[in-house]
Amino acid sequence: MAAYFARAGRAFSLAYSFRRLKHSANTLIRNKVLLAAGVLTAPGDLSFMTRIALYPGTFDPLTNGHLDIIGRAVKLVDHLIIGVAVNAAKQPLFSLDERVAMVKAQAAQFADETVIEVRPFEGLLMHFAEQVGAQSIVRGLRAVSDFEYEFQMVAMNQQLNDDIETVFLMADPRHQAISSRLVKEIASLGGEVSAFVPPAIETLLKERLA
């Protein structure tokens, strides 16, 4: 298991570095064109060109539902930050470092034109969003119960910082019933979870719960 997380970290670092360079080059070319066309008047105007979104979660473990949201969020922004919450109150099955590593390993497949960064965080979500410069927070919705909770959270977050918007993405119908809690419960009782998580995550679950 330790070897898996080590390899995953190295693979993500290499992929992330290459794609970040590629993305930076593409952004630079685009900005030069806009400057030449007079759309931008000075280099200082370039700050608004990078669309940064934050997708927060505990990811204990990462599920196919999470990957669905990540895969769709990268189409909307230039830089997606996946925030892995400490969330000790939930008594996570995997450590923070393990969860960061599994998210890095699985999210690398989407980092084509968009920069993906995986970072741990603790404390208030809005404080972390401000710290990383996010203009929006991405949330996935599975059911009406999710909406009721998220609606309340948005109202509170707007009181804290109304410059940061919340973007809701509806879960793919195939993933609407998936939650990390249910996946762990099914796996702990010997059930089959291959339809809910990537193969590598399924292996880690079986090893941890053996």
Catalytic residue among 90, 127, 174, 206: 90
Active site residue 66: yes
Catalytic residue among 23, 99, 104, 180: 180
- CA dist., res. 116 & res. 74, Å (int): 8
155 burial class (0-12, 13-18, 19+ CB within 10 angstroms)?
Answer: exposed
Active site residue 90: yes
- CA dist., res. 115 & res. 23, Å (int): 7
Q: Give the CA distances from residue 67 to residues 48, 62, 97, 136, 174, in Å, rounded to whole numbers and listed in that order.
A: 27, 8, 19, 18, 12
Active site residue 99: no
- CA dist., res. 19 & res. 115, Å (int): 7
Active site residue 20: no
Catalytic residue among 20, 22, 51, 142: 142
Helices marked H in the chain — which ranges? Answer: 2-37, 64-73, 96-107, 125-132, 144-160, 180-188, 199-209
Catalytic residue among 19, 23, 66, 79: 66
Phi-psi region of 196 (alpha: psi -120 to 50; beta: other; left: phi over 0): alpha
Residues 55, 69: contact at Cβ < 8 Å?
yes
- CA dist., res. 162 & res. 186, Å (int): 39
* Residues that are catalytic: 66, 90, 142, 180
